[in-house]
Amino acid sequence: MYKTFKGYGEAKKIIKEFKPDVVIGTGGYICGATISAAHKLGIPTLLHESNAFPGKAVKMLAKKTNTILVSFEDAKDRIKNAKNIVYTGTPVKITKKDYGINEKMQIIKNVGLSETKPIILIFGGSQGAQKINEAILGILENKLNKNYQIMWATGPKQYDIIKEKLQDKNISINNIENAKIVPYIYNMEEIMNVSDLIVARSGAMTITEISNLGKPSILIPLPNVSGDHQLHNAKVLENVGAAKIILNDELDDKKLNTQIEEVVLNKNKVAEMSKNALKISTNNVEEKIYREIVKIVKEKNNV
């Protein structure tokens, strides 16, 4: 609380010196001081909420800010007393690509996989996710992935640990049937586009990318986060029939394998979930956000 009040004064000083036309916040504790200071000084403000369940900062500042932009329609009903709420989506780097058959086969070949079996892309964020990693280890150790291939980004911090665990089972990390294991995927856009199913946490960016690509997914929300927002994010896709949710405490190799096979071994299911994911995809996000920024600046200047 002390740092917040101190930050309010510091933010006020910076804003007076910089004299911005608009102040934009993207949630988090720092918005409390900065947006409040801008409001006090009569500077237009705009907030962007990337999660389906808005954070405390956005809810607290709803009355003060000129416009709140949301990534998901679901967030609108969870923000009270806001002057203006606009559904824009979230800007992401990864976009849908319609690769030709030869180009797609080359991408798959380059990562050491085959085009003959479905590809399951698995990641838990840049630092990995231990619970997900444990479930995948169980799948590989018990050779449950006979009918599909795994492209698994463990996270840099987890890679050596997983390598040692596999070695203890006399399994070489570089020579596993139907699996490619790497610390990090640098060509993520290509891999996401050629994958048949995505297994991941459910951060706002991930949900947006999955929906924009039109990919079926199995989501394992990160527990113990503010407002349980990852679970709410995952439900955005589950509610339209585009994803299956496995709670962190319920995750194990057998349950995950069953869910994977239920989806990827049924081509009609894959097609249906893909179509449903696209229902909540967003286009021209940057343009929509830009338009709202310009609007409040013009209103301030009476243009």
Residues 287, 259 share a domain: no
Task: Band the pLDDT of 121: cuts 50, 70, 90.
Answer: very high
Residues 218, 122 share a domain: yes
Residues 245, 209 share a domain: yes
pLDDT digits (tens, 9 = 90+) for 125-149: 655 578 899 999 999 999 999 999 9
Q: Tell me, what's the pLDDT at 127?
A: 55
∠ CA 74-196-70, nearest 5°, is 20
- The model carries a pTM of 0.91
Angstrom distance (rounded) from CA 281 to CA 285: 10
Overall number of domains in the chain = 2
Query: Is residue 13 included in any domain, yes or no?
Result: yes
Residues 174, 33 share a domain: no
Q: What is the CATH number of the domain that holds 219?
A: 3.40.50.2000
Mean pLDDT of 210-225: 92
Task: Band the pLDDT of 244: cuts 50, 70, 90.
Answer: very high
Question: Residue 24 belongs to what domain range?
Answer: 2-89+283-300
Residues 236, 156 share a domain: yes
Query: Is residue 12 included in any domain, yes or no?
Result: yes
Q: Across the chain, what does the average pLDDT equal?
A: 93
